[in-house]
Amino acid sequence: MNPRPRRLNVLRWLPDGWIQTAGPRAQKSLYLTFDDGPHPEHTPPLLDLLARHGAKATFFLIGEQIDRHSALAQRIVEEGHTLGNHSFTHPQFETLPLDAQFDEIERTDRALASVSGRPRHGFRPPRGVLPLPLMLRFIRQRRRIAYWSYDSLDYSRRPAPELVDIIKRHPVRAGDIVLMHDDSTISLEMLESLIPTWKAEGFSLLALPQEG
């Protein structure tokens, strides 16, 4: 298992204004990102861990989860993290017509705006699936798709110590956007070990800049 799959090597050659695959490298920064929340069981202890370490992150939220757990979404913002759009119901985008894909995105934009006050947020497609018509419409709208450069593999449901060993064999680099999820305990268990290691190596854990 490799945290840097081949498709990321392809995407990084596209203009950064189209697809974001890395963050600013100032201060030897890492950018933790969490998909599929907010989750009432798993997101709060993750926020507690980040707070203990003075770490910031970006949470790509599902719209219907925002509606169900709006207070938790508000807590994410109040604690200095940034938000992203991860669709409204997390469907298989490749099975939907383009207008239905954008309905998912726009409904989530509205849900996010009710929490953050911002009209638009970076969009990360469910499962990383990026249909070409969707990408082309984003380009026309001058809106960037938020991807990642480093896959924590936490969704594989392998034991956390095994995944931590994989990450240590494939070290992160400054500017990496790290893909994680806050819908299980795996990311929390991994980060309890990884955050102290990364901080000892001189990394700052920052949230991605907000989309303009």
176 is catalytic: no
181 is catalytic: yes
The b-or-e profile of 38-50 (16+ CB within 10 A means b, else e) is bbeebbeebbeeb
Q: How far apart are CA 97 and CA 27, in angstroms?
A: 42
Alpha-helical (H) ranges within 69-176 are 70-78, 98-116, 132-140, 160-169
Residue type, 145: I
Active-site annotation holder among 151, 181, 182, 183: 181
Q: In sequence order, what DSSP letters do the residues of 19-45 get, joined into one string?
A: EE-----GGGEEEEEEEEE--TTTHHH
Q: How far apart are CA 104 and CA 57, in angstroms?
A: 23
List, by residue number, the catalytic residues: 35, 181
